Structure 1
């Protein structure tokens, strides 16, 4: 496993290309994050260092001079390349005319070329339906654009958000025309605009033959996997080609918590498994090293075509190709130079990879396997551990430790079970991947053979799901960690300190004793006596996955108002049971998207409910019909709530702030944004302070709130739309809240919450509590003001009470 593609990674490594790779990477990163001119500065620094190394190489021995000159020339060449080519590309993207027009909210008729497979975005199922919002995100490149009747010259990258119907079937390389409303792209990206499209694509060109073949193979794998149960049926295509369309969100969340999310995307491990399988087969047939390497290259190309030209696939493909080339020419210690070449080539080809978290994780993981894992495996083998077991232990440990700081800084959490979970699944990943690839190849010509291969892969998929489920369920499996650069650097320091400490035998024994104490004492306490709910709770944000569900105490024991019900019944039922809520005078559904109404049955079936309250909006129609049917079957009336209404109980007052009677409600076939903007916005006055419940309102609805006369001030805010980046900073300024609740699912496919919004709140000194990292979160009243209490910890806002 460590040797990956057959390379000998032992002995002294060749570091000469590493400085050049770092110059290309960090110069491009600086250009994206700080301004395109910084790429030129970084390139000049690389050239200057190269010149300095050449000057200092005089008078050295022949070997030292040869080594230094190799590093110097790589710095000179790569510095010039990134300083010229990289700067020009970043400048073109920064000054693209569409970027300015998109910032003004203009509309355009665009012709684009699809660059990646469309990624479906839909909410969890409810009432037998697929979900309330079902769209696709399509990365593309502009071919031509017309704005206000005038052509605009642009070849920039764009992201198209469109209805799934017909758009979902597009393949990379196809060109389409559409009328789109433009919005600004996030800073620090090559993307020049986000295009929102309502209609179907027009003037669709034909896809390349190889793309159609790959699509047929992927569809064949999905069809063959239909013989398995629901969860393994969705997992096998994800494991083989990164196709997560049919994978239940719960499984995705469990893989994320267990540190196994890398298995759901095509990575270097997929390429290594396929290529090594081909290498072993050809060597068994007595083929020479170069013939075997050539066969593995063909397998690599075929796999890249099968999986599609996604960034992660191309990243893994380039690394695999360089490694196989090194093997073919007989350079047995070329793993580190191969990694450096991969970094240089990929960043120059696609500068966006410089700020890609996936790219950083891939580079770090490969570096860990090259530099750290072999040494650890040798030491374990030297202490009597069987060689195979030593490598199996060293590989996940090295990969997890070197990538943990990036994961912690990005996600704000650390998985404590990742190493063990990866160790448990390692034996079945390769067989499942190989069987899945063979099934995809066999499906078009022999469906019965594909089904047989899929059934053989079924037990492996079941084992992966079982490990992920139980690992994610371990108390304290995921712990919260400071997000951002500070959190990443802090964990990196902890990792270095841990490795240094483990080198001393006595300290190893001490750490083992401490861990044993944690397992024996702390974990049982977490399971048996979690200390929930806290006394005097006023509001609880329930952890229901990717959705909203908030419970407001009314002042009477066992009685509470529920605002939104999440995507599924079971998580909300568990939350209400833990809070001992048996009577619900009012269930408020902010809007009819499935992630807000899917768990309604949990309230109606087991509790005494007074009424279900909604706004005038009745879209999506299927969701409205389902809500009305469930309420009718339970004998519960449905009432309409409008701005200006005031509802009160002994310990709770709710004011309806929006929408009012004059606001236009979404019509049939409205997109998700219009439905979100029709959300009910409430302000609840509780013993712990005022709480603004903002549903999923986006920018236009937020602007109406800010322009109106309603008082938005509150001590606590439920961040709109799960922390979406379509949130106005002025809304937070108007509320002046000191605690922010973010209802969001772990590892969700929407990118919620937005890092920009999280940084914005952090800079304002707001305490942010996320249900994906903190679980159920309560707001309680104290003498010093509202305080947040999670199921695992109690924390107050920075600097004391709000």
Structure 2
């Protein structure tokens, strides 16, 4: 779409109407400070804004002409928003802060809530035993309280709560439905409008009937998922995500790859989606010689229908309003209307829902739109003046502007920056619009004419495969995601870097300096990241892959391109990349120590382009969902599923495995918390004889299983220990002493919420003379044979 300027010649003079910008900034800042520091801060910011407005108005009254009119209109909007912040906005924050459920939540009280569902349930993926299929056992449901009973007494609350509820029971509730939930309260996070979190037990009770439009939208979403099933697994899960933001069927691996590649915004309904769909309607209407007004009416009708299809909730309303900004500018042919529309949208949406002020999605929508309005046109025209075709110039300017505008927000909130985002978005962009348009048409036809919808879905297949390929390759680039200081200071630091880049792009001297600086960084970084590590190291015997919060061990068999895999991590993708880096093409055996999600979730990735001989398990068959997935995965690839027994021995040229455990027998009846420990204690325990020494692989065995193993008389001595249960506190010092390792491998995810590894366990290992190597700080970690014993080689995190 060509950028049209105020004068209609395709090149804007960049005179933007900024009169509503101070009002928008004041409203957003008031809500942000109010949520962060209290409702009083909101009132103070509002009062300051109103005072500034009066000063501007006083000056405007003393002037004549257009400047005076502009000052007065700016002051009027700012004064109105200042009063809004002092009055209704502060009052709403005050009510939320003093909601009686907050005190009850601090005590962990039991509660019965009557709520109105505000948003569609979002899956909560769990790493570890507490998962259902795909690692999802719970959903997050945002809801508004209608009535509450705490410890048998009615409580006058009208606040917003976040329900953490069983996925099987609550995943089908829809916005607008009323339901009764019972559970225990917990304090909500700070800087949010939510007054309490509720851990719900059991299904929703007394559920009201959803509105017809919500039922229709859900039926269309379900039908789109069904017709998308004619594609491969990755593409079938991606299509609903791109079209309507439904990622429920999206494989975890694809989701992570899109996040690392900086493409995750494609699966969040945004103004871009709305602009693509409505733009297609406008082009079609103009092609049929419809007038501007009729075209606008048709586009508006499609906009309403699209919002209903995606889901009537605050996040979708935000996307709809932001999309309307681009639509309005396109219909009127006046870019100067974009900034006032964006500012008005910020004022209205924050006033409607102050929680948006701290929403990362909202912030990204606003700053990305601002970047496209303020930066992209200037850069497009600058390149056009240098005889770069307008289409090519826009294709280059848009992703760069969006990346630079959003980088500070992402850096501050997520603590990381994707350095491949611009290139990935550039090569992905050509297929996004066709997929979106065809996907919406497929959704519309999926109920009345499924056969036609399947044809459209097949047409989108190559484009979807291209997006998966781009995300997979981009996320696999060494250093694709760089860690960054999180929080306010990290965001400000990133903003400073962005400002330097923008200045450098404008001035020749600065461009030269930036180019020299980047070249210097590349000269230092590229050899360090790619050449210097020499990965994999020659003669590696065992590698602990950095799979996040889980286990993924690779044991060389001594044959070129062959290795045994022990556990596969929590999700596909990361283990696949680790095996690729090691050059593994054949896996004679995959051992799953036990069936928790952080050990079996990545099983599918072992089969990616490799020959697998067999999948081995222990005696455990729980959780049942995980066992079913393992059986189905093995059957789908025609691979035998075998059970290992204590005393069994398996041999390869340079590797011998001895099965030492489990000796632990799980109780017949266990509760949820006991179930986790019970399943951990059924882990298969292996001793591997390798050229680098003995390796003891312990799965997640805890205190009881460790004691049983020692009591059995098994020879657990080893030079290399895979520390049990990610280095948790449930580790016997006498067990570690009996092993006597020289190297201790801790497979653990960075910043995990489980407290792994435990400092006491690490201290015990170090005092025993072991060198501790952690995957969260060392990345993929290999052990090779050295003259004086095993030697650790670290690849480095994020590579």
TM-score, length-normalised on structure 1?
0.76
Contact kept in structure 1, 2:30 and 2:46, CA below 8 Å: yes
Q: Distance in 2 between matches of 1:686 and 1:345?
A: 67
Hey, what does 2:81 align to over in structure 1? 78
Q: 2:121 aligns with which of 118, 122, 144?
A: 118
Q: Distance in 2 between matches of 1:125 and 1:488?
A: 32
Hey, what does 1:530 align to over in structure 2? 533
Following superposition, the deviation at residue 390 of structure 1 comes to: 0.9
Q: 2:245 aligns with which of 242, 246, 258?
A: 242
Structure 1 pair 229–409 and aligned structure 2 pair: CA distance change class (3 A): same
**Cα deviations by residue, 1:188-232 (Å, 9 ceiling, x for unpaired):** 111222222232222111110111111121122112212212211
Q: State whether structure 2 residue 488 is matched by structure 1 residue 485.
A: yes
Hey, what does 2:407 align to over in structure 1? 404
For the residue of structure 2 that corresponds to 1:188, the secondary structure is coil
Q: State whether structure 2 residue 198 is matched by structure 1 residue 200.
A: no
Hey, what does 2:645 align to over in structure 1? 637
Matches within 5 A, 1:442-481: 442-481=445-484
Structure 1 gaps of 5+ residues are 554-559, 640-655, 740-766, 781-786, 796-802
Hey, what does 2:780 align to over in structure 1? 776
Following superposition, the deviation at residue 272 of structure 1 comes to: 0.7
Structure 1 pair 792–100 and aligned structure 2 pair: CA distance change class (3 A): same
Contact kept in structure 2, 1:172 and 1:211, CA below 8 Å: yes
Hey, what does 1:494 align to over in structure 2? 497
Following superposition, the deviation at residue 284 of structure 1 comes to: 2.2
Following superposition, the deviation at residue 90 of structure 1 comes to: 1.4
Structure 1 pair 64–391 and aligned structure 2 pair: CA distance change class (3 A): same
Following superposition, the deviation at residue 365 of structure 1 comes to: 0.5
Q: State whether structure 2 residue 323 is matched by structure 1 residue 320.
A: yes
Structure 1 pair 166–613 and aligned structure 2 pair: CA distance change class (3 A): closer
Contact kept in structure 1, 2:328 and 2:337, CA below 8 Å: no
Structure 1 pair 189–674 and aligned structure 2 pair: CA distance change class (3 A): farther
Q: State whether structure 2 residue 62 is matched by structure 1 residue 54.
A: no
Q: State whether structure 2 residue 153 is matched by structure 1 residue 178.
A: no
Matches within 5 A, 1:200-599: 200-321=203-324, 324=327, 333-505=336-508, 508=511, 512=515, 523=526, 526-527=529-530, 530-532=533-535, 542-544=545-547, 547-549=550-552, 565-567=568-570, 571-572=574-575, 575=578, 592-598=595-601
Hey, what does 2:42 align to over in structure 1? 39
Q: Distance in 1 between matches of 2:749 and 2:393?
A: 46
Structure 1 pair 688–112 and aligned structure 2 pair: CA distance change class (3 A): farther
Q: 2:162 aligns with which of 156, 159, 162?
A: 159
Contact kept in structure 2, 1:7 and 1:327, CA below 8 Å: no
Contact kept in structure 2, 1:227 and 1:455, CA below 8 Å: yes
Following superposition, the deviation at residue 551 of structure 1 comes to: 8.7
Q: If you compute each CA radius of gyration, which structure gives the higher value, 1 or 2?
A: 2
When the two structures are aligned, how many residues end up with a matched partner?
Answer: 729
Contact kept in structure 1, 2:134 and 2:252, CA below 8 Å: no
Contact kept in structure 1, 2:328 and 2:338, CA below 8 Å: no
Q: Distance in 1 between matches of 2:222 and 2:628?
A: 33
Following superposition, the deviation at residue 62 of structure 1 comes to: 2.4
Q: Distance in 2 between matches of 1:315 and 1:107?
A: 34
Q: Distance in 1 between matches of 2:188 and 2:676?
A: 18
Structure 1 pair 519–459 and aligned structure 2 pair: CA distance change class (3 A): farther
Q: 1:791 aligns with which of 752, 776, 795?
A: 795
Q: Distance in 2 between matches of 1:471 and 1:480?
A: 16
Following superposition, the deviation at residue 186 of structure 1 comes to: 1.3
Q: Which moved more, 1:628-637 or 1:338-347?
A: 628-637
Following superposition, the deviation at residue 353 of structure 1 comes to: 0.7
Structure 1 pair 365–6 and aligned structure 2 pair: CA distance change class (3 A): farther
Q: Distance in 1 between matches of 2:735 and 2:108?
A: 28
Q: Distance in 2 between matches of 1:420 and 1:573?
A: 23
For the residue of structure 1 that corresponds to 2:162, the secondary structure is strand
For the residue of structure 1 that corresponds to 2:336, the secondary structure is coil
Structure 1 pair 452–564 and aligned structure 2 pair: CA distance change class (3 A): closer
**Cα deviations by residue, 1:400-456 (Å, 9 ceiling, x for unpaired):** 111112112222222222112211122211111011111111112111111121122
Structure 1 pair 50–737 and aligned structure 2 pair: CA distance change class (3 A): farther
**Cα deviations by residue, 1:305-338 (Å, 9 ceiling, x for unpaired):** 0000244321121233456567777865111111
Hey, what does 1:755 align to over in structure 2? none
Q: Distance in 1 between matches of 2:377 and 2:236?
A: 36
Structure 1 pair 669–477 and aligned structure 2 pair: CA distance change class (3 A): closer
**Cα deviations by residue, 1:511-548 (Å, 9 ceiling, x for unpaired):** 55776787799657744553446899999763225644
Contact kept in structure 2, 1:234 and 1:247, CA below 8 Å: yes
**Cα deviations by residue, 1:31-88 (Å, 9 ceiling, x for unpaired):** 1111222111111111111122223334323222211111111111101112211112
TM-score, length-normalised on structure 2?
0.77
